[in-house]
């Protein structure tokens, strides 16, 4: 499909005169367009759930979440990867964001980088991509060569492949096991896909990565339990998590956390079961560190 025919490149009838609107009307108009995003993402629920299940299975086997994209899409992938590390206590190498043009492209446009399929293959080879990995290709237009090249190579390697686009029948979707296509319609400012399309991609990535982490046991009830208590603030947060999940008092939470070697998951199991640290470690290991499995 030609670029000018893509949904993301069409002019939005509702914003044809946004340049002459009052500031309040401008804000209301943008907000009204934004209301359509969640509905578009919601229509992809089945595909998103499928992506989570496939990605979670590979991640459990030691695979990595690898995001590839260019421009805004690439930056969103990098953002999702980076934020998983402090949020869920994972190692940085388990979530990797690749942007066409490399690290410099996070801040400045690198002309021509997104037009190379070979560059994506080269970037993935540097990571020693393998069949346990998960590659998430992001392109609002659904046609970025860098992303196509990456998904093609990932498919050859046998990795799980997921695509996220904002047009129907996307080109990148042809190279993904799970194509996700949230059609948000024309942008408020024609072609400015950092707006509705970018928001849709962020929402979808939130769902996928959060879902994968939940299935790894990184969440108990609705609390992050792999927080790393590396400073005073995080120690206090860890103790409050233990209190809220086990209903012991703050002093007891402090005591158990110390006995658990500052491991929140372990402390919760100890508080809920009455096991000592060795027994709690043993049962957690048997359940692959999944607190919900141990306690439910």
Task: Check if 168 is active-site.
Answer: no
Q: Which is catalytic among the residues 9, 33, 83, 168?
A: 83
CA–CA dist 139, 71 (Å, integer): 9
| Cβ contacts of 54 within 8 Å, gap of 6 or more | 134, 160, 162, 177, 178
φ/ψ region of 135 (left if φ > 0, alpha if ψ in -120 to 50, else beta) reads beta
Distances (CA, A) of 155 to 79, 132, 191, 247: 24, 12, 30, 48
| Torsions phi, psi for 137 (to 5 deg) | -95, 130
CB-CB contact of 217 with 224 (8 Å): no
Q: What is the DSSP letter of 251?
A: H
Nearest to 97 by CA among 118, 114, 116, 81: 81
Count the helices and strands in the chain (H runs, E runs).
11, 7
Task: Check if 114 is active-site.
Answer: yes
| Torsions phi, psi for 164 (to 5 deg) | -130, 115
| Cβ contacts of 22 within 8 Å, gap of 6 or more | none
Q: C-alpha angle with apex 143: 96 to 46, nearest 5 degrees?
A: 70
Q: Which is catalytic among the residues 33, 114, 181, 187?
A: 114
Q: Which residues are catalytic?
A: 83, 114
């Amino acid at each position: 499909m030609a670029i000018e025919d893509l949904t993301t490149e069409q002019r939005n009838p509702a914003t044809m005169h946004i340049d002459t609107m009052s500031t309040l009307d401008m804000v209301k108009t943008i907000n009204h367009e934004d209301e359509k995003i969640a509905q578009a993402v919601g229509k992809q629920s089945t595909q998103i759930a499928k992506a989570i299940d496939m990605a979670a299975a590979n991640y459990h086997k030691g695979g990595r979440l690898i995001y590839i994209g260019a421009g805004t899409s690439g930056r969103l992938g990098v953002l999702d990867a980076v934020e998983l590390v402090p949020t869920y206590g994972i190692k940085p190498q388990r979530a990797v964001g690749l942007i066409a043009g490399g690290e410099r492209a996070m801040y400045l446009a690198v002309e021509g980088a997104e037009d190379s399929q070979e560059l994506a293959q080269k970037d993935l080879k540097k990571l020693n991509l393998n069949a346990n990995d998960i590659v998430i290709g992001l392109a609002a237009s659904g046609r970025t060569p860098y992303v196509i090249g990456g998904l093609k190579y990932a498919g050859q390697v046998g990795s799980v492949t997921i695509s996220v686009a904002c047009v129907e029948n996307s080109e990148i979707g042809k190279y993904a096991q799970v194509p996700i296509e949230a059609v948000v319609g024309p942008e408020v400012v024609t072609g400015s896909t950092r707006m509705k399309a970018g928001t849709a991609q962020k929402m979808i990535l939130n769902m996928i990565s959060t879902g994968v982490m939940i299935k790894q046991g990184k969440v108990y009830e609705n609390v992050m339990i792999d927080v790393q208590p590396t400073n005073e603030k995080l120690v206090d947060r860890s103790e409050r998590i233990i209190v809220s999940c086990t209903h012991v008092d703050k002093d007891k939470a402090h005591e158990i956390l110390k006995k658990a070697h500052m491991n929140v998951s372990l402390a919760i199991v100890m508080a809920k079961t009455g096991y000592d640290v060795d027994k709690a470690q043993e049962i957690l290991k048997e359940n692959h560190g999944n607190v919900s499995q141990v306690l439910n």
